Structure 1
Amino acid sequence: MTPAPGRWEDLNTRLATSAVIAVFGLLAVWIGGWIFVALVAVVCAVLTWELVQMLKAGSRMALPLAGLAAGVILLGEFLPPGFALPFLLAPAMVGIGQLERNRTVFAVFTTLILVAGYGLLVLRTGFGFYWMLWLVSVVIVTDVGGYFAGRWLGGPKFWPRVSPKKTWSGTVAGWIAAAIVGAVFVAIFGGSTQLIGVSIAISMASQLGDIAESAVKRRMGVKDSSTLLPGHGGLFDRFDGMLGASIFFLLVEQLVVFPPLAY
């Protein structure tokens, strides 16, 4: 079975953009400290800016809300978690009061963006580089495995009304790829094989983040969150999976011993 050439026409651009993102992202994760905090703050700011534009909620507030999102992440680095939490909700509250439309959707997604961003800081500080690498790797292989399997194998669509290109073959391939990442980390770092199951669940959460953003774009009649990233669209289009994965990890870390220990 040979896929139609049009299925791969954006591959080179996507790969080049992904490579640049991966290099800078992993370098910041490796260095940690304020470099990583600054990266998370910038990403949260851009995601918030794109969200306002995507929701057509009032362009005049896009930059102020983006700046507030970045400031909240930076402030959270100075404060104990209990005091940081109210600030994570501040952009959502301001948006509800100042935006022109789609306020509820903005409030929900902005809260998720900032909690996810703060969660990445907690993960990097609490568990170190290698487990941050695990999370990022699961999200990446879920996306890459789903892309190639979906384009090559095709088959039934997952939810065509919301995400016309997403297939069941790509969805399942993402789970398998995530399981392999989990198995590799168990082999290298030891611990329980439960990490394989956790990796699959993180993969599913990543896919749910992607689907949630697709639903918003479909509702607003837009193809991409912006045009910042050649071959990908906007930053939101690339970080929607990390958004779902980070939020879910915060829940997992409270429910199971992490990283899972050998029994």
Structure 2
Amino acid sequence: MAGASKWDDLRDRMISGLAMAVVGLGLVWAGGPWFAMLAAFVSGVMLWELSRMVAPEKVRAAWQIGVLGAASVLLANSIPYGAVLLLAPLIYGAYLLQRWLVLFVAFGIAILAAGYGLIEFRNEHGMVWIVWLMLVVIATDIFGYFAGRFIGGPKFWPAVSPKKTWSGIVAGWLAAIAIGFIFRTFTNAGVDLPWVSMLLSMASQAGDFAESGLKRKMGVKDSSNLLPGHGGLFDRFDGMLGAVLFMLIVAQVVYVPEVRF
């Protein structure tokens, strides 16, 4: 039954992944307060999961940090100079948890900056590039998953993520390049989009490895058990986190053509 065990998580992964994709794409399309609430909710849950990993016995503190994180992301995009509010859950969390402070603050900054930046990016550039981001991350994950299991081969970084193979990593890059070519057909992004898509895929994989390393450091298998077949939101959105941060950095130095429907 070794062959069956290799695929035993596929059904749950597909169901929960499809549900998240449908809800996510719907709220990206809706934009405005709907997308802002989605970004704030995901940020808050990920901050809650991070707090649980850092100090699992401090259940009440984790909830407080998560709620404060979601509120700070939502309010930061609603008032002038609101970004300063993102410091509140980090300071409060460091005070309550009092352990692994460097890791908590580093990952906390990444989570909150990604949530805040996504809302700003959606408002300024529209939905098309958010959809591009999501599709690159999803394709990287899906093609990496199937290539790793069908092709297998040498492991990419077994000390951090023992299931990831070079075949899966490269398949994710190729899928991202293909999406870049598709988006070139109806946008004016130019000839650079396919290789930028590959870099986005790499950033997504880096986010995945970073969270895997964090879990190994904390001695946990999953960030939580919220999602069947996926663990927690942090497990599902670790790649998205890396990709979002990369996209936000690139957007500061490269012109992002606006595409609206």
TM-score (norm 2): 0.94
Q: Give, in angstroms, the shift of residue 243 of structure 1.
A: 0.6
Residue identity matched to 1:105: L
Cα deviation per residue 1:83-117 (whole Å; 9 max; x = unaligned)? 12221222112222221321221111111101001
Match for residue 29 of structure 2?
30
CA distance in 2 between counterparts of 1:191 and 1:252 reads 13
Contact 1:73 1:118 in 2 (8 A): yes
| Unmatched segments (≥5 aa) in structure 1 | none
Deviation at 1:259, TM superposition (A): 3.6
After the TM superposition, which residues 71-82 of structure 1 pair with which residues of structure 2 at under 5 Å, given as runs? 71-80=71-80
Which 5+ residue runs of structure 2 have no aligned equivalent?
Answer: none
Asked if 1 retains the 8 angstrom alpha-carbon contact of 2:45 and 2:233, the reply is: yes
C-alpha displacement of 1:189: 2.0
Alpha-carbon separation, structure 2, partners of 1:251 and 1:94:
27
The 5 A counterparts of 1:47-196 are 47-56=46-55, 58-80=58-80, 83-196=81-194
Structure 1 contact 175–203 (Cα < 8 Å) conserved = yes
**Runs of 4+ displaced beyond 3 Å:** none
2:42 is equivalent to residue 43 of structure 1: yes
Q: Say whether the 8 Å CA contact 2:77–2:120 is kept in structure 1.
A: no
Q: Partners of 1:255 and 1:156 in 2: how far apart?
A: 36
Q: Deviations over 1:34-90 (max 9, x none)?
A: 11111111111110111111122632310111111011111112123xx12221222
Amino acid aligned to 2:216? R
Deviation at 1:212, TM superposition (A): 0.4
**Further displaced range: 95-104 or 8-17:** 95-104
| Matching residue's letter, 1:115 | A
| Contact 2:55–2:97 (CA under 8 A) maintained in structure 1 | no
User: How many Å separate the matches in 1 of 2:26 and 2:99?
Assistant: 38
Deviation at 1:190, TM superposition (A): 3.5
Q: Distance in 2 between matches of 1:254 and 1:190?
A: 18
Q: CA RMSD in A?
A: 1.6
Query: What is the SS of the residue equivalent to 2:185?
Result: helix
Distance in 1 separating the partners of 2:207 and 2:86:
19
Q: Distance in 2 between matches of 1:111 and 1:191?
A: 30
Please give the alpha-carbon distance, in whole angstroms, between the structure 1 residues aligned to 2:64 and 2:201: 33
For these two proteins, the number of residue pairs brought into alignment is: 257
Query: Is the 1:195–1:259 Cα contact (8 Å) retained in structure 2?
Result: no
Query: Residues 111-147 of structure 1: CA distance to partner in whole angstroms, max 9, x if unpaired?
Result: 1101001111122111111111111111111111111
Counterpart AA for 2:73: I
